[in-house]
Amino acid sequence: MKKLIVDKIFNGKKLNTFLFDNIPNLTSNLFYKTLRKKDIKINNKRVHENVTIYEGDEILVYIPDEILEKKFNLNIVYEDNNILIINKPCNIEVTGENSLTTIIHKEYSSNCKPQPCHRIDRNTMGLVLFAKNEDSLNILFDKFKKHEIEKHYLTWVYGIPNNDSEKCDAFLFKDNTKSTVYIKEHFKKGYKKITTIYNIIEKRKDNTCILDIEIPTGKTHQIRAHLAYMGYPIIGDGKYGINKINNRYGKKYQMLCSYIIKFNFTTESGKLNYLNGKKFVLNNSVEYFK
């Protein structure tokens, strides 16, 4: 069974368009067979037609896991006895059912089940850090909490900031009921302070640019929502972006890539001391945004 929530970009689209895009192994024959059997629910109601769907709809697809599961080889960037760094593709969650984590668990023995130390959005690509034992997991959780692990993202945005680099503060509210976040310039009850640091990597003649982003605060959807609030929406972002721009460039997913992980330990790190000062970079990341 697969549970999906309809993003803004698919608002008003047909059910089959959404499912074909979100379940790569789904064929047309299987889709219509599943419809005939009423094995698809929208907002807990079974459907038997290729209906129109809307943003926020919850869709349950009752198809065997082996059909829904994405087939791809793990792209391992680095691995040792304690950690594993994977280059995650688009369109797969880090955790949950049929996720990157479940695929990794199938590849490793029962005595070694790497666990994710952080997450990136389903349609954000790039580096994800896993711990291969409990000691390493606890150390890395602590290091993330203390901001001793530096992460950078590359993104392609519409618009070009006036300053080549800037540290920007704002306040973010997470609405769990709508799976979205809101940004305010000034503090408001329920909002938490965020910091987003950008550096322009490349300016393009079509009023777009490539930014290097660092987020010391690391809140849900922070990069996507904060950049949109600042007037520089990420191209392809169906939730916080601009549909007209996304369609112009033919992008269905946010052009956002986790491309640097650097270990900056300033406190004791036990068995992971050897990682201090190491930097892992996803080479040629800008090529993703051509």
Q: What is the CATH number of the domain that holds 47?
A: 3.10.290.10
Residue 158 belongs to a domain:
yes
CA pair distance 50, 13, nearest whole angstrom: 10
Q: Name the residue type at position 210.
A: I
Q: Which helix (H) or strand (E) holds 208?
A: strand 208-214
Residue 41, helix vs strand vs coil: strand
pLDDT of residue 66: 66
Q: What is the mean pLDDT of residues 103-111?
A: 81
**DSSP assignment, residue 20?**
H
Task: State how far the alpha carbon of 151 is from the alpha carbons of 119, 147, 261, 288, in Å.
Answer: 12, 10, 5, 18
- Asked if the model's pLDDT at residue 274 lies above 80, the reply is yes
- Residues 72-104: pLDDT tens digits? 678 999 999 999 999 999 888 899 877 899 889
Residue 141 belongs to a domain:
no
Reported confidence tier of residue 70, pLDDT bands at 50, 70, 90: low
Q: How many domains does the chain have?
A: 2
- Asked if the model's pLDDT at residue 182 lies above 70, the reply is yes
- Asked if the model's pLDDT at residue 25 lies above 80, the reply is no
Residue 52 belongs to a domain:
yes
**DSSP assignment, residue 123?**
T
Q: What is the mean pLDDT of residues 63-74?
A: 71
pLDDT of residue 72: 66
Using the 3D structure, point to which of 19, 38, 68 is the last residue of a domain: 68
Question: Length of the chain in residues, anyone?
Answer: 290
Q: Which residue has the higher pLDDT, 234 or 21?
A: 234
State residue 69 phi and psi, 5-degree precision.
-65, 135
Q: Is pTM beyond 0.85 here?
A: no
